[in-house]
Structure 1
Amino acid sequence: MEPFIHCRVSLEINNGQMESLNASDVKLFAVKVTGTLCVTSHHLLFSDRKDEASWQLLILLKNIDAIEKSVENLFGYPRAVGSSGTITIKCKDLLVLQLEIPGMEECLNIASSIEALSSLESVTEMYPFFYRPSHLTLSGLWGLSSMEQYYKQTERLWDRWRVSTVNSDYSVCPSYPSAVIVPREVDDDKLICSARFRQGGRFPVLSYCHHRNGMVIMRSSQPLTGANKKRCKEDELLLQAVIDGSELGYIIDLRSAQQAQQAWMTGGGVESKSCYSHWKRIHRHHEKGKVVQESLIKLVEACSDPSHSVDRWLSKLENSKWLSHVHSALSTAGLVVECVERDCHSVLVHGSEGTDNTLLMSSLAQLILDPTSRTVTGFLCLLEREWIQAGHPFQQRCAHSAYSHARLKQECPSFLLLLDCVWQVWRQFPLALEFSEALLLRLAQEVYASNYGTFLCNSEQERCAAGVKENTHCLFQSLLRPDIEEQYLNPLYEPTDLAIWPSVHPQSLQLWTGLFLRWTEYAQNMEEAREEVWSIVKEHREQAGHDRTNNMLSTHCDTLTPFENLMDELTIL
């Protein structure tokens, strides 16, 4: 429902960093509220100030995606004396507000102030560097996981793999972390040569080792073979060291064969069959960059207009092609899983740069394969290794959401696409993930505007230079506080060691209403439904515990019986 809030305001302007607006006739879902709107260095705050239980709205200015100004009276309220203007504030989390301000000049001044404060470019001027909650301290470890920790926890790696610090000063690959996992028999000099042969220096590194058969998922960027079809023996040796001489590995190239051939003309290319004889290449075309960003814009546009007829709504949803991107991602992730789990082959995944779709496929494959990645802690560790430490350029990709009129070349909602894919898995396997949709929604909001430093900058090197770890708090550590984590737990969770295989049939994929329709009355109804689910689950668990005590039931099948009955009751979802 657009807009979410209508305001008619009278104005007082103070010198300095704060502007105060006395608002009246504020309507929230047809409820009128009187209050004050304040704009500070980092926040926009509205409060009705009626009593201690007053209604408040606090928005981080970084969350503002676009501001539109108009001198027309859009609400039909009686005009104040003199001219008036309207500011429409469109947020990155898809919330939309409208403020009617008497006085065109004042309206423009307020809009300009909000625009300037919401588009800070210096990382150290952003709010995470000023956020100091009483329950958190800056001392201690920052983050949850690292490649060194993953190596120590994965015993299967110890014989044939090692942790290399060849990139400790980020000179070999600016977008890689300081430590990576590579084959033990490949020394650092060979890694340096391989990095020179890969775009952006992203040489093949280990992403995941399967706990069942020891097969691995590697990731990298494209090789720089060029029109002359150059080769790099060190790069060939690196990939050969991943597999035994009699084995076959798969290279999942996230470009069409035609795109890969065209890359030769600009210095890129593919791994040739003659030089990588033990690796079979498979092409799976995936859109990136501007195409995916435009898809998101069209989807949000379709979701923002409740006046559509059914036919027009379905047509605009299809034309956005967002679910096609979801389908492609889950389909290719399933291919990676099939190679590793069923066929017992190791896999190298790459596209061109190796910072978007490559990370999307490697992380989705791990979610499907690895039961640890389906827990709250494991999932956050996965995001930290595969997206934050692996060099996804968050600051470039998430500069704007779907409303901004600025179209920056490097914007792309790759991380949002990942969260949507994870939501599809959660919806198809309601017992398989320890976390609920609420965690995915929280991450979708935090990646665009956050109190925490987790998603700042484009790489570990940039975060070190800006002092992010020393001067900001870690979102993931905050989410794992017991009182916070409970909000994101899935009450239906039943762990399994087996791989889960999400369906990619068109009928199986749905619009993520919890995100794209989150500010509608429908979303409120779903929240009430989730609360009802919690109460039903608690009741069944109490009954199940009582039955086990009385009847000495101990088999796994018996413990699942209450959940079988429970699923029949949850038709509301």
Structure 2
Amino acid sequence: MDHIKVAKVDNVSILHHGNEQRGTLHLTAHHLIFRRAPSEPEGAEKQPSTPLPPSEIWVAYPIICTAYRYPSCQSAPAHIRLRNRDFSFLQFRFETDRECRDVFDSIKALTVVKGGVEKLYAFYYQPSMTGERRCNGWNLYNPINEFERMGVGTDRCKGWRITHINKDYSFSPTYPATLAVPSTISDTTLTHAKSYRSRARIPALTYLHPLNNCTITRCAQPLTGVRGNRSIQDEKLVAAIFASSQPPGTSQTPAYLRASTPSPSGSSSDLSSLETAGTPTSDPDSSPVGRIYGAQQRNLIVDARPTVNAYAMQVVGMGSEDMDNYRHCSSPPCTKVYLGIDNIHVMRDSLNKVIDAIKDSDITPLPPNRELLAKSGWLKHIGLLLDGTYAIVHQIAIDHSHVLVHCSDGWDRTSQLAALAQICLDPYFRTIDGFITLVEKDWVSFGHRFRHRGGYLGHEKWFVEKSGYGQSALEEGIVDDDEDEPAPRSAGVPGGGQAAAFAGAVLGQAKNFFHNVSNPNGRATSPAPDTDSDDFADRRTKAARQVETPSVTKPKEVSPMFQQFLDGTYQLMAQYPTRFEYNERFLRRLLFHLYSCQYGTFLHDNDKERMESGVKERTRSVWDYFLSRRKMWLNERYNPAHDGQEHEREVEGGRVIFPKSGAVKWWAQCWGREDHEMNGAPPAPSVTLSDTTQLSVASGGGAPGVAALTAEAAAGAVGGMVDSVRGLTLGARTPARKASSEPLGVEMM
């Protein structure tokens, strides 16, 4: 409470979608609350007994992403504009500059948390709802039970075993305590193999398909480096994974693969070559003798990164599998594919571009800028994610093959692909309980860096005070948004700030290049161009790892990876609306509570951190919220009969669903918009009035097209646009959007 300069401000106006309401603003320790002044129904007599109840808007401070303070001027009063992580945009207008400044300073102090996640709301929250108090979502996921459900350790599948080698998290601090590995691999082999994978994140089981015992395993990139390092133990582990569905006693390495000549089909560079890569040779002399089930598997290693980025990682001692060393891991030789999915920095930039297209929704009811939406590349990234998912699902369900998935450190793109593929392969993960298990397993337990990607602790750079001319220090080039040092200014450079920023970027790249080449130790020490890691520079020395401060938000590590997974799930739901027990609102509310910090599930980066902080004893699980309100998340169109056991061996129309990347669309509800605004017809073409009072409409493709309108229609169209502009300028009430099913920013206690 020491950070709150003012706890209550009266006569505050809030602007949302161009609609202005007056009320009182309250600042509490964990929420910003706007309470609208009571109003009376239109046309009713003013009587004390008829006023409408005041509406409230609750905004948890971690939900706030950026805040801008504008001083009063001739055209507008002093106001604060908030951009929230749930993509709501709010503007608060104040009567005095001092009130505006005090509220801004208070919000900043309460949002930029000092001292770690223990200061967040989750460690103070106590549910008021009886049903939620009775739930205990921490006990919902049990890795042993989930592995047994898939068949690990049962008579159905004896190729896998459960190991507790990481029970104290000393083997791999970012991995779960319970792992499933091939039964032919000892813990001693694992101990030797871990040094070859980034952060000891070895290939480990995440999914076992019940139809054919084929698997999805996940790991981090190998440490090949520029010298082409290899690990016999890692190669043995991968070979055992690919042989896990074959009968006992089967040779993992056929005789024709023991020659020293590399296989020409040992690797593939992209998805287009996947169909032909690894196809068994037609030469009878080179065919394996005594074919058995699984002998013709087209096992696949999936590297989610772009090819050039994977190769660039070799400069810092990492990289991707040299397929000459892995060709013996299965028969025919296993193949590798690069999916070309960009890293966290590209995804963050794409998200920011989407925000630029919708950011004015606090002051205008107009639809988002469709051109900027297209330029954001967001749908392209979601499409690539679904393409990669399709490749994994096809390999397992159609080709009866194993898939090993990794990116850089195996906790961002790897989690996205593995989780989406399991939703497609297993109907269980399309139920509420199954989806919760999936998130707990592939995101929470396998070490996705929620705290780093979410930026829950806030950052001072996200709070900007505008000058009287509407510019901030960032916009004027005084401080670079991504660096701690002042941005270079180039006097006399045409283009002003943009040219100076470009010059600074070129200078920075040159410094990094020469720093790598001229390093007296002969080692490259600058971060690689593609990484999921939030502290890649920490790999330089052991000392750097020791001084890492875990309780600081790094703006460059914030990225919407989990949101993209939810977006991909939404795409599957839209394509198969009867195959999911949960509805769209379930996903949207989960995204909200990812950032609300009301629950402890997503506050840490791995299970080791959760254990050390005692988060399970000190906070509530986010699943308490959902399980106590189960009826709210049910999909009315869900038909479980489509996924019955009688369909298990069907492919087309069976229990497996295949993503359609060509049908990707905007998840409008997630962005706080309506579907027609995000996915409707393209913007109307530009119009000009001719001397004959007709409108000439230029067709979008360059071909001439004329739509003749009457003078009356033309005048009406122009008049409508003028009225809209006048309404925005004067702050007039504009037509409201369809009311949302949930109040803006309000936690449903």
Of 365, 377, 383 in structure 2, the residue corresponding to residue 321 of structure 1 is 377
Which of 392, 401, 408 is 2:448 aligned to? Answer: 392
Residue in structure 2 matching 1:148, options 140, 144, 147:
144
Alignment partners' CA distance in 2, 1:232 and 1:282: 21
Question: What do residues 70-100 of structure 1 show as CA deviations (whole Å, max 9, x unaligned)?
Answer: 1134875xxxxxxx63222221112122222
Secondary structure of the residue aligned to 2:387 is helix
* Residue 194 of structure 1, CA deviation: 1.7
For residue 336 of structure 2, the aligned residue among 259, 281, 284 is 281
- Distance across 2 between alignment mates of 1:89 and 1:172: 44
Are 1:501 and 2:658 matched, yes or no? yes
Structure 1 pair 444–73 and aligned structure 2 pair: CA distance change class (3 A) = farther
Distance 1:237 1:24, change over 3 A: closer
Answer yes or no: is the 8 Å Cα contact 1:226–1:265 preserved in 2.
yes
Q: Whole-Å Cα distance in 1 between the matches of residues 451 and 188 of structure 2?
A: 32
Is the Cα contact below 8 Å between 1:144 and 1:477 reproduced in 2? no
1:116 aligns with 2:109: yes
Contact 2:137 2:623 in 1 (8 A): no
Deviation of 1:35 (Å): 2.8
Aligned in 2, Cα 1:55/1:363: closer, same or farther, shift over 3 Å?
A: same
Q: How much does 1:354 deviate?
A: 0.6
Deviation at 1:52, TM superposition (A): 8.2
Aligned to 1:133: 127
Corresponding position of 1:515: 670
In the superposition, relative to structure 1, how do residues 303 and 184 fare at CA in structure 2: closer, same or farther (>3 Å)? same
Offset at residue 235 of structure 1 (A): 1.1
1:499-527, CA deviations, whole angstroms, 9 ceiling, x for partnerless residues?
1112112xx11111111134899795485
> What residue identity is the alignment partner of 2:70?
S
From the superposition, tell whether residues 27 and 326 of structure 1 become closer, same or farther in structure 2 (CA, over 3 Å). closer
Q: Give per-residue Cα distances to partners, 1:464-487, cap 9 Å, x unaligned.
A: 111111111111233122xx1111
* Alpha-carbon distance, 1:399 to partner: 1.0
Partner residue of 2:357? 302
State which of 303, 314, 325 in structure 2 corresponds to 1:253. Answer: 303
SS of match in other structure, 2:656: coil
Deviation per residue, 1:132-170 (Å, 9 max, x gap): 113244996614213212112222553121111111121
- CA distance in 1 between partners of 2:599 and 2:608 (Å): 18
State which drifts further: 344-353 or 444-453.
444-453
CA separation in 2, counterparts of 1:316 and 1:140?
Answer: 44
Would the aligned equivalents of 2:15 and 2:91 in 1 still touch at CA under 8 Å? no
Residues 404, 26 of structure 1: alpha-carbon distance in 2 compared, 3 angstrom cutoff: closer
| Cα deviation, residue 174, structure 1 | 1.4
Among 393, 403, 410, the residue aligned to 1:354: 410
- The C-alpha deviation readout for 1:428-470, integer Å capped at 9, x for no partner, is 1111111111011101111122311111111111111111111
**Would you say how many aligned residue pairs link Structure 1 and Structure 2?**
505
User: 2:162–2:181: 8 Å Cα contact kept in structure 1?
Assistant: yes
Is the contact made by 2:14 and 2:91 (CA closer than 8 Å) also made in structure 1?
Answer: no
Q: Which residue number corresponds to residue 21 of structure 1?
A: 9
Tell me the distance in 2 between the aligned counterparts of 1:23 and 1:103: 10
* Structure number with higher strand proportion: 1
Aligned residue among 367, 371, 389 for 1:333: 389
Equivalent position of 1:473 in the other structure = 620
Cα offsets for 1:257-303 (capped at 9, x unmatched): 33222222211122222321223111111101111001011012112
Q: Give the distance between the partners of 2:117 and 2:52, measured in 1 at CA.
A: 36
Secondary structure at the aligned position of 2:58 is classed as: strand
1:51-130 matches, cutoff 5 A: 53-73=53-73, 76=76, 85-121=78-114, 122-130=116-124
User: Is 2:304–2:405's contact at 8 Å kept on the other side of the alignment?
Assistant: yes
Secondary structure of 2:661's counterpart equals coil
Q: Which runs of 5+ in 1 are unaligned?
A: 1-12, 77-83, 529-573
Match of residue 36, structure 1, among 24, 43, 47: 24
1:491 has 2:636 as partner: yes
Match of 1:343 in 2: 399
Residues 281, 369 of structure 1: alpha-carbon distance in 2 compared, 3 angstrom cutoff: same
Secondary structure, counterpart of 2:188 in structure 1? helix
Hey, what's the Cα distance between the residues in 1 that align with 2:74 and 2:213? 63
Measure the CA separation in 2 of the matches of 1:293 and 1:388.
21
Shift of 1:101: 2.4
CA distance in 1, matches of 2:134, 2:172: 29
Q: Secondary structure at the match of 1:448?
A: helix
1:389-468 aligned at under 5 Å gives the runs 389-399=445-455, 404=462, 407=482, 408-468=555-615
Is the CA contact (8 Å cut-off) linking 2:169 and 2:175 kept in structure 1? yes
Cα distance change, pair 427–73 in 1 and its aligned pair in 2 (3 A): farther
Contact 2:218/2:405 (<8 A) preserved: yes
From the superposition, tell whether residues 517 and 35 of structure 1 become closer, same or farther in structure 2 (CA, over 3 Å). Answer: closer
Contact 1:92-1:448 at 8 Å conserved across structures: yes
Deviation at 1:18, TM superposition (A): 6.2
Q: How far off its partner does 1:337 sit? A: 0.4
Q: Distance in 2 between matches of 1:150 and 1:404?
A: 41
Which structure's relative contact order is higher, taking Cα pairs within 8 Å and 6+ residues apart?
Answer: 2
- Paired letter, 1:501: F
Call closer, same or farther: CA 1:258–1:141 in 2, change over 3 Å. closer
Residue 289 of structure 1 aligns with an amino acid whose one-letter code is I
Shift of 1:26: 4.8
1:415 maps to a residue whose letter is F
Structure 2 CA distance for partners of 1:92 and 1:75, relative to 1, 3 Å? farther
| Distance in 2 of aligned mates of 1:380 and 1:90 | 29
Q: Displacement of 1:229 after TM fit?
A: 1.2
Given residue 485 of structure 1, which amino acid in structure 2 is its aligned partner? R
Q: Deviations over 1:388-436 (max 9, x none)?
A: 1110001111117999476512111111111111111111111111111
Secondary structure of residue in 2 paired with 1:214 = coil
1:162 aligns with 2:218: no
Distance in 1 separating the partners of 2:661 and 2:338 = 18
Could you say what secondary structure the match of 1:361 adopts? Answer: helix
Greater shift after overlay, 450-459 or 252-261?
A: 252-261
The one-letter code of the counterpart of 1:417 is Q
Q: 2:384 & 2:365 partners in 1: Cα distance?
A: 28
- Kindly name which structure, 1 or 2, has the bigger radius of gyration based on alpha carbons: 2
| C-alpha separation in 1, matches of 2:19 and 2:347 | 37
- Does the aligned pair in 1 maintain the 2:407–2:414 contact within 8 Å? yes
Q: Tell me which amino acid in the other structure corresponds to 2:57.
A: L
| C-alpha contact (below 8 Å) 1:176/1:391 kept by paired residues | yes
Alignment of 1:178-217 (within 5 A): 178-217=177-216
Cα distance between partner residues in 1 of 2:366 and 2:14: 29
1:104 shift after superposition: 2.5
How far did 1:102 drift? 3.3
AA of the residue aligned to 2:241 = V
Q: Work out the CA distance in 2 between the residues paired with 1:513 and 1:375.
A: 23
Cα gap change, 1:445 to 1:252, in 2 (>3 Å): same
Distance 2:3 2:210 in 1: 62
Secondary structure of 2:340's counterpart equals coil
For the aligned residues, what is the CA RMSD? 2.9
